[in-house]
Amino acid sequence: MREMSPRERFLKAMDFAPTDRLPIMMNGLTAGYIQHLTGISEEEYWADQIKAHAKAFKILGVDFCEQLAFPPREESDRSWAPGEQKDWTGPDSVASGLKKQSDAIERELVNLQSRQEAHIQEICEYQIATQQHLGEDCVWIFGMDAHGPGIIHFPYDTYGYEGFFMAVAIYPDVMERYWKAGGKYARWHNECVVEAAKRLDWPRIGYLGTDMTTQTGNMISPQAMDHLYFPHLDHAVEPLVKAGFKLIWHSDGNMNDMLDPLIDIGIAGFQGFQEECGTHITDVARLRTRDGDPLILWGSISAIDVVRNGTFEDIRCEVQRVLDEWPHPGLCLATASAMMDDIPKANITEMYRIFRTLGIESRGPLDPGE
């Protein structure tokens, strides 16, 4: 088979069509590794992180980028949760804060129609500018940011974990009102995303998600999620699903209880799966979308257990394991999580080389029985 461009390779894979090799997803890479790989200076790196990472993506054979998640220059540049401060002293104050946020969102909902055209234009301009910055060798989808698919989040980044989860337990009605209002806003935003995709003829592929599980399971019980959260998430993403978007959900932790509810609202696939937490791709591979198609997987090489600690042969065996355990089209190779400074640089480079060689195995088209 002839060599494909990154765009052709990725889009064909997402349509379950044959490709020259499996696409490779952008992974989180450290500043030190990018400078080591590309030979650029520290000053050049910090002057334009997107350009620096795009240069690395080309060297490594990365085909698409789903999130502009780059390292902060200093730890002080990170956005630490205000909820860890003393402002939120307990569930009562958190509930009060959630009520005020709900009031503000509901007021904003009244005037959204007048802002729609400007918002669509903003999304279009952002998509074009981001793709130009990345260059033609790496496809930019509708990524996980303010211009990509809108969802409703767990606001522990505002209120802190303890106060937020106690408020969910004590004030479920307050929490549901907050998610209901957020779901209406996200739906309006997603209607704008659909229109932007139409105007730009942009690939209808979106990356979305929020951390809602730990290493052992749900942060909030499945029963509470079914009642308080998923109806409003369903309302939010419905315009994207109806428009034919393939939505890929970010998946950290033990996701076992969350897979079916997400599939039920139209999620087409998953990114990640930290199998050391108990969600195994062999089990997920047996599931199907609500339309009966195999799920898409962006992953799922263990950065923590294998790329960090293993030999080159261990990494090759891990990639082969994923190829064997996920036999469907729609597989894109990546690690399950970002790669930190404690991972040997040579191991990262070798992993991408293995992606490009073992990934030559083509996936598709679908067999009638799949």
Give tens-digit pLDDT for 250-274: 988 888 999 999 999 999 999 978 8
Helix/strand/coil for 218: strand
C-alpha 346/C-alpha 311 separation (Å) is 10
Report the interhelical angle of 172-200 vs 161-170 (nearest 10°): 110
C-alpha 112/C-alpha 102 separation (Å) is 15
Q: Which residues contact 181 (CB under 8 A, 6 or more apart)?
A: 102, 105, 106, 109
The predicted pLDDT at position 76 comes to 58
Q: Are the CB atoms for 61 and 24 separated by under 8 Å?
A: yes
C-alpha 319/C-alpha 334 separation (Å) is 9
Per residue in 275-288, pLDDT (tens digit) is: 888 888 899 999 99
Q: Could you report how far apart the first and last alpha carbons of the chain are, in Å?
A: 24
Q: Are the CB atoms for 122 and 44 separated by under 8 Å?
A: no
Q: Which residues contact 367 (CB under 8 A, 6 or more apart)?
A: none
Pairing state between β 246-251 and 64-65: unpaired
Q: Are the CB atoms for 289 and 314 separated by under 8 Å?
A: no
Helix/strand/coil for 104: helix
Residue 368 has pLDDT above 50, yes or no: no
Per residue in 139-182, pLDDT (tens digit) is: 999 999 999 999 999 998 888 888 899 999 999 999 999 999 99
The predicted pLDDT at position 150 comes to 98
Fold of 6-80+111-154+174-358: TIM Barrel (3.20.20)
Q: Which of 110, 227, 121 lies closest to 180 in space, CA to CA?
A: 227
User: Locate tokens 């490779």: which residue?
Assistant: 24
Per residue in 316-340, pLDDT (tens digit) is: 999 999 999 998 888 999 998 888 8
What is the C-alpha radius of gyration for the chain, rounded to an integer number of angstroms? Answer: 21
Strand partners, 331: 297
Q: Which of 62, 61, 31 lies closest to 48 in space, CA to CA?
A: 31
Q: Which ranges of the chain would DSSP assign to H, the alpha helix?
A: 6-14, 31-38, 42-47, 49-60, 91-109, 112-134, 156-159, 161-170, 172-200, 222-224, 230-242, 259-264, 281-284, 312-325, 345-358
Q: Which of 287, 284, 278, 285 lies closest to 254 in space, CA to CA?
A: 278
Q: Are the CB atoms for 182 and 153 separated by under 8 Å?
A: yes
How far is C-alpha 201 from the geometric centre of its chain's CA atoms?
22
The structure tokens listed for 26 are 């952008």
Per residue in 37-75, pLDDT (tens digit) is: 999 999 999 999 999 999 999 999 999 999 998 888 875
Torsion of the alpha carbons at 331, 245, 254 and 179, rounded to the nearest 10: 170
Residue 217 has pLDDT above 90, yes or no: no
Mean pLDDT value of segment 277-305: 91
Helix/strand/coil for 335: strand
User: Locate tokens 């002080």: which residue?
Assistant: 76
C-alpha 253/C-alpha 256 separation (Å) is 9
Q: Which residues contact 77 (CB under 8 A, 6 or more apart)?
A: none
pLDDT band at 85, cuts 50/70/90?
A: low
The structure tokens listed for 332 are 């894109």
